[in-house]
Amino acid sequence: MSIFDLVLNISPSFHRQCSIRIDGEATGLATFEALPTGLLPRIAQSLPVKSEHMATLHRRTSTMLMEWNEQWSQLGLDGINIDGVFDPSNSKTQPFSLWSPREGTAAHTMLAAVFECFPFNLCSGPTGELLEIVRSYLDLQPPVSIINYKPTHLRLAPWVHANDACEVESHLRMLADDGDLIIDASGMERFCGALTRLLPVDYLLNRRGGVRWMVRSEFSNALIQAGVAQSMIEIVPISPISRTGEPIVLGSIFVDSSDLIAFAKAGERMELVRSFRKEYSLTIEQASKAAAELLEIVAYHPVL
């Protein structure tokens, strides 16, 4: 078995930067990490990688580099940039750069194997949510996932939209009607739209099995109005930023503009980028990174 290291530095256009490192021999270790930034703490998780999957990762990365296409590294404005280094023990180190790899390419196939190292049922909380977001840039994250916890969880992706309602309902109706179920919308971004337009609430209320809900506070009133008992709703706690905690620090930028905060709370990503560039004379890349940090801060720590 070839020994190798694979490092990926991941920069989504509108979300937090992070990295993945996979190293080992017959078996390996995969580590996902996002460094502390602004008011956001470090998140990190490491999981073992079985020998069969290590062999798959080595083979797919080698294939990608042998089939290299310069078009894979051409930058765009709204997507995800990945700077990688493949360091096999039996040959020289090979750096590479990818921009939003498309499904069907060797680059996309390699990344699919990388993210299989972090199954959602083993990655929860902020780590799991950031992994979901990154996978969504690569079309590796479905809008809805069924997780075989006890009871079963129907997990909604952070970016799920009312346009995905048919797919969500299809997954829901495949589940046994008499089994208890948790609707997990705890990572759903506030600007995705109404939860009651996404899910068939009447159907859920009439199931034989019990249904509980895990949501952010902004979704609870609509559920109650739709007939969901308040006792069946678990509000996911978030810590607010007090006014005495402002201005918010984004790298070297001090954010004290109420307009920027308002755009972030509304999820107006492009307007936020434009405003950052206007107020602080930033490049598009710098403004996108600042916007990503502020969006995440406001999502998890809403301003009072």
Do the bridges between strand 80-88 and strand 94-99 make them parallel or antiparallel, or are there none, so unpaired?
Answer: antiparallel
Neighbours of 275 (CB within 10 A): 20
Of 68, 58, 59, the closest CA to residue 105 belongs to: 68
pLDDT digits (tens, 9 = 90+) for 178-210: 999 999 988 887 655 578 888 999 999 999 999
Phi, psi of 101 (to 5 degrees): -55, 140
From CA 134, how far away is CA 143, in angstroms rounded? 13
Tell me, what's the pLDDT at 98?
97
Phi, psi of 300 (to 5 degrees): -95, -20
* pLDDT band at 243; cut points 50, 70, 90: very low
* Residue position matching structure tokens 């969901």: 228
Tokens of 193: 């739209």
* Residue position matching structure tokens 């918010």: 248
% of the chain surpassing 90 pLDDT: 47
pLDDT digits (tens, 9 = 90+) for 5-50: 999 999 998 788 999 999 988 899 999 999 876 656 788 999 999 9
pLDDT digits (tens, 9 = 90+) for 250-301: 655 556 666 787 888 888 888 988 888 877 777 787 788 788 878 877 776 6
Tokens of 252: 């070297």
Asked if residue 72 lies in contact with residue 47, where contact means CB atoms within 8 angstroms, the answer is no
**Average pLDDT of the segment spanning 213-226:** 88
> Which residues is 84 bridged to in the sheet?
8, 96
pLDDT digits (tens, 9 = 90+) for 46-74: 999 999 999 999 999 999 999 999 999 98
Report whether pLDDT(248) > 60: no
Before 151, cis peptide (omega within 30)? yes
Tokens of 2: 């070839």
Tokens of 47: 């999981």
The pTM assigned to this predicted structure is 0.74
